[in-house]
């Protein structure tokens, strides 16, 4: 047995005796001896016996006054992974709670992942699941990572950098999210030194150098603040705050400021006895030095998401020196430094969970909700990283409830923060009682009202402006499910059309034949096979041939196909696309191109882009417009007109007067007298288009109006090379 290790377990036991009962301390001792025996013969890179690591982790948790079960889990946390001992053996020895904690903290190194990023993501995902069962898992994990970071020096540079990057990306923000400021700062400082050793050394040297020059000013400001509190009869202690090296580095990068500009600010913390005194001290320091407008923040009335509370203000000090001041109570100071750990550090008896504990639980429950809707572990971790960033805004519901959201959040983020169903059915919003776009970034203090509709559903465009992981994952989840159901529906119609050429339907096919085809195509269910057909990954005709073996000639097949064309309704959703090259509209002769991964793309019958595959039954499907087709369809018009003041407005009025929408407008001046205007408008069908064109022709300045089709594109490009540089973009059709 290692003598030094025995001394350490004795010193740990004596520290534990200050807040745990004798029986609990003995349980921790027993866990230590069990771990020591399990790790016998194993050594760390430093050459120390392996058991020194779990012991160090237990010491970190002891400083937080964690309970005896957490300390036992800390001592045993590598036993399952690194020795032959099972979770069941630990459960038999130390009980189910300790075994679950150990299992939650155990790493996932034995699983082979396709990438290191995926391994990290899966690891974090398992940790989130374990945290949901017991929050102590995250604290043991954080203590484990903290000791690993303290002993990083013995590892190879590449491994050192990888662990440091993971710590800065995930563990430091988690510590921050749980309000554990002391741990966060240590993670950041150690990670910074390991990841950017030269930058860390330079900043440390510069800070050391400047510290001597600042000493006198810091002392003067501190003396004047203490004298001010004494004059007003306000009890409190004032301490100067040192900026951390990583924080200096981040500010220099983010704000593009020099080292001297960042170090020009002097920071102090005033710690008082109660909340009332905080506000009185604020008044006193605002009388002493003038406050900087817009720099006051009240985190006591509205705490941060991690439970942090404090008053923040910035003052113009003597000689115009900026002074940052934080005012808080002793309890808030303890909470700011220890966060969720303060629940164990300061609790007395079996009182109700602390504010930080409740917030941490809410956050973990939010993680679980994210996990359910995320497609995979990498998508999940992408959402979590977004939510771990600390900058927040606070907005109100019309009834006065407060919601905290990341900076840059929109009304859609707010809608999903209220409830997933509110987000999914959101159609509009009011910000401070005025109607506003859903994409408008929210500001702190605004009142936001979400307008929902029964038929509302998420828009794919929302993904380009939402900020929170919850909104992003729920939108993706909804669209994924919607796309799946739409592709199943389209796949069923395509397969039934293909089966009609064999004079049968899907519901008439025997189950044995369907099961056989599912086995041949490696699909778990009929819906999956139909989705594959709908997305264009499998040809409906080929599947139909497998379902109904036949001996018909090609001529018979083609004749049957022409009799059973697929009707386009316009309501097929995400898996039915209308080609942008030829802009088909109801009334046009059309053909369907089955595009892998996209579903079906509808082209006009004479579109150049499908000329080569037009007669290939594996790539193109016979389609017609349903008599009751609905929706609006884009079409491009080319208008030749005389240059007149306000002519574009007149043109727009004519189009909207015919109940059509303008999606895009572009102007090309051909000479001083004539212009060519290209309009992309949405119409219901060819009849509606004819009405729009008739209205446009009635404008006296218009000399011609024609529909742009793709069939003349190549000819126009050929004819215009060397004449007009832009005309080839329009693909005009002189015939109209």
The total number of residues shown for the chain amounts to 736
- The whole-angstrom separation of Cα 377 and Cα 434 is 40
Task: Note the Cα 508 to chain centre separation in Å.
Answer: 46
For helices 469-500 and 355-373, angle between their N-to-C axes, nearest 10 degrees: 20
Active-site annotation holds for 82: yes
How is residue 550 written in tokens?
């036949």
Q: Who's near 270: CB < 8 A, 6+ residues apart? A: 225, 229, 236, 237, 238, 281, 285, 325, 326, 327, 328
- The whole-angstrom separation of Cα 696 and Cα 584 is 21
How is residue 314 written in tokens?
């910035």
Task: Note the Cα 393 to chain centre separation in Å.
Answer: 17
3-class secondary-structure state, position 114? coil
Contact indicator for 621, 566 with CB cutoff of 8 Å? yes
Q: Which ranges constitute the DSSP H helices of 419-552? A: 420-424, 469-500, 511-520, 526-534, 540-547
R_g over Cα of the chain: 34
Contact indicator for 403, 418 with CB cutoff of 8 Å? yes
Residue 182 parent element (H or E):
helix 181-195
Contact indicator for 345, 336 with CB cutoff of 8 Å? no
Contact indicator for 62, 15 with CB cutoff of 8 Å? yes
Catalytic annotation, pick one of 81, 186, 382, 626: 81
Sheet containing strand 566-568, edge to edge, reads 566-568, 620-625, 590-595, 599-604, 576-578
Helix, strand, coil percentages (3-state) for the chain, rounded to 5, are: 55, 15, 30
Q: Who's near 110: CB < 8 A, 6+ residues apart? A: 81
Query: Mapped to the 3 state alphabet, what secondary structure does 343-402 carry?
Result: HHHCCCCCCCCCHHHHHHHHHHHHHHHHHHHCCCHHHHHHHHHHHHCCCEEEEECCCCCE
- The whole-angstrom separation of Cα 588 and Cα 711 is 14
Q: How many CB atoms lie within 10 A of CB 186?
A: 17
Sheet containing strand 426-431, edge to edge, reads 434-436, 426-431, 448-452
What's the start-to-end Cα distance of the chain, in Å? 95
Contact indicator for 48, 56 with CB cutoff of 8 Å? no
- The whole-angstrom separation of Cα 62 and Cα 360 is 21
3-class secondary-structure state, position 667? strand
C-alpha distances in Å from residue 145, one per residue of 141, 142, 400: 6, 5, 41
Catalytic annotation, pick one of 48, 82, 324, 632: 82
- The whole-angstrom separation of Cα 575 and Cα 560 is 26
Candidates 733, 665, 673; CA nearest to 705 is: 733
Candidates 40, 58, 48, 44; CA nearest to 155 is: 44
Q: How many CB atoms lie within 10 A of CB 627?
A: 8
Look up residue 441 and give its DSSP letter. Answer: P
Contact indicator for 147, 77 with CB cutoff of 8 Å? no
3-class secondary-structure state, position 478? helix
* Catalytic machinery residues: 81-82
């Amino acid at each position: 047995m290692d003598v030094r290790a025995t001394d350490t377990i004795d010193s740990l036991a004596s520290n534990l005796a200050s807040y745990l009962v004798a029986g609990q301390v003995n349980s921790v001792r027993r866990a230590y001896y069990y771990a020591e025996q399990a790790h016998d013969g194993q050594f760390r890179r430093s050459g120390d016996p392996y058991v020194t690591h779990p012991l160090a982790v237990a010491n970190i948790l002891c400083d937080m006054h964690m309970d005896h079960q957490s300390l036992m889990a800390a001592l045993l946390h590598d036993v399952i992974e690194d020795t032959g001992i099972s979770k069941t053996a630990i459960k038999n020895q130390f009980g189910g709670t300790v075994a679950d904690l150990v299992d939650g903290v155990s790493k996932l190194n034995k699983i082979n992942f396709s990438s290191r990023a995926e391994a990290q993501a899966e690891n974090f995902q398992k940790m989130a699941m374990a945290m949901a069962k017991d929050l102590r898992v995250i604290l043991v994990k954080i203590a484990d990572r903290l000791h690993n970071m303290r002993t990083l020096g013995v590892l190879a540079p590449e491994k050192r950098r990888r662990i440091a990057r993971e710590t800065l990306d995930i563990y430091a923000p988690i510590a921050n999210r749980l309000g554990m400021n002391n741990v966060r700062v240590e993670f950041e400082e150690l990670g910074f030194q390991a990841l950017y050793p030269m930058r860390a050394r330079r900043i440390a040297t510069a800070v050391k150098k400047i510290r001597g020059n600042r000493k006198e000013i810091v002392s003067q400001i501190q003396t004047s603040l203490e004298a001010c509190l004494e004059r007003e009869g306000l009890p409190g202690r004032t301490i100067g705050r040192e900026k951390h090296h990583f924080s200096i580095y981040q500010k220099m990068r983010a704000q593009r400021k020099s080292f001297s500009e960042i170090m020009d600010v002097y920071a102090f913390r005033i710690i008082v006895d109660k909340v009332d005194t905080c506000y009185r001290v604020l008044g006193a320091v605002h009388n002493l030095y003038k406050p900087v407008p817009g720099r006051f923040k009240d985190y006591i009335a509205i705490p941060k998401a991690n439970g942090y509370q404090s008053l923040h203000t910035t003052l113009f000090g003597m000689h115009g020196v900026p002074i940052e001041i934080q005012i808080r109570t002793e309890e808030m100071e303890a909470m700011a430094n220890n966060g969720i750990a303060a629940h164990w550090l300061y609790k007395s008896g079996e009182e109700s969970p602390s504010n930080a504990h409740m917030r941490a639980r809410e956050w973990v429950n939010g993680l679980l909700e994210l996990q359910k809707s995320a497609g995979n572990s990498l998508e999940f971790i992408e959402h979590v990283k977004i939510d771990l960033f600390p900058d927040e805004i606070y907005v109100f519901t019309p009834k006065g409830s407060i919601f905290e959201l990341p900076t840059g959040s929109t009304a859609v983020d707010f809608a999903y923060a209220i409830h997933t169903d509110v987000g999914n059915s959101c159609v509009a919003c009011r910000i401070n009682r005025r109607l506003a776009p859903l994409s408008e970034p929210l500001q702190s203090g605004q009142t936001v009202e979400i307008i929902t509709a029964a038929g509302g559903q998420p828009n794919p465009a929302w993904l380009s402006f939402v900020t929170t992981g919850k909104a992003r994952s729920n939108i993706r989840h909804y669209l994924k499910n919607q796309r799946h159901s739409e592709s199943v529906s389209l796949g069923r119609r395509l397969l039934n059309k293909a089966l009609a050429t064999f004079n049968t339907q899907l519901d008439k096919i025997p189950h044995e034949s369907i099961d056989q085809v599912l086995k041949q195509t490696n699909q778990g269910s009929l819906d999956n096979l139909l989705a594959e057909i709908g997305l264009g990954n499998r040809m409906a005709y080929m599947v139909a041939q497998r379902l109904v073996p036949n001996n018909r000639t090609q001529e018979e097949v083609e004749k049957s196909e022409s009799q059973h064309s697929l009707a386009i309704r316009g309501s097929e959703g995400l898996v039915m696309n209308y080609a942008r090259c030829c802009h088909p509209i109801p009334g046009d002769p059309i053909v369907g191109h089955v595009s892998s991964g996209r579903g079906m793309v509808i082209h006009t019958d004479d579109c150049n882009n499908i000329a080569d595959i037009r007669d290939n039954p594996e790539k193109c499907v016979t389609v017609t417009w349903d008599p009751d087709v609905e929706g609006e369809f884009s079409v491009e018009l080319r208008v030749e007109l005389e240059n007149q003041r306000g002519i574009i407005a007149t043109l727009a009025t004519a189009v909207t007067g015919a109940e059509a929408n303008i999606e895009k407008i572009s102007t090309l001046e051909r000479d001083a007298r004539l212009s060519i205007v290209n309009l992309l408008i949405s119409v219901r069908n060819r009849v509606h288009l004819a009405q729009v064109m008739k209205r446009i022709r009635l404008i006296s300045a218009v000399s011609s109006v024609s529909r742009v089709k793709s069939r003349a594109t190549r000819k126009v490009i050929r004819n215009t090379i060397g004449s007009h540089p832009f005309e080839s973009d329009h693909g005009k059709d002189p015939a109209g």
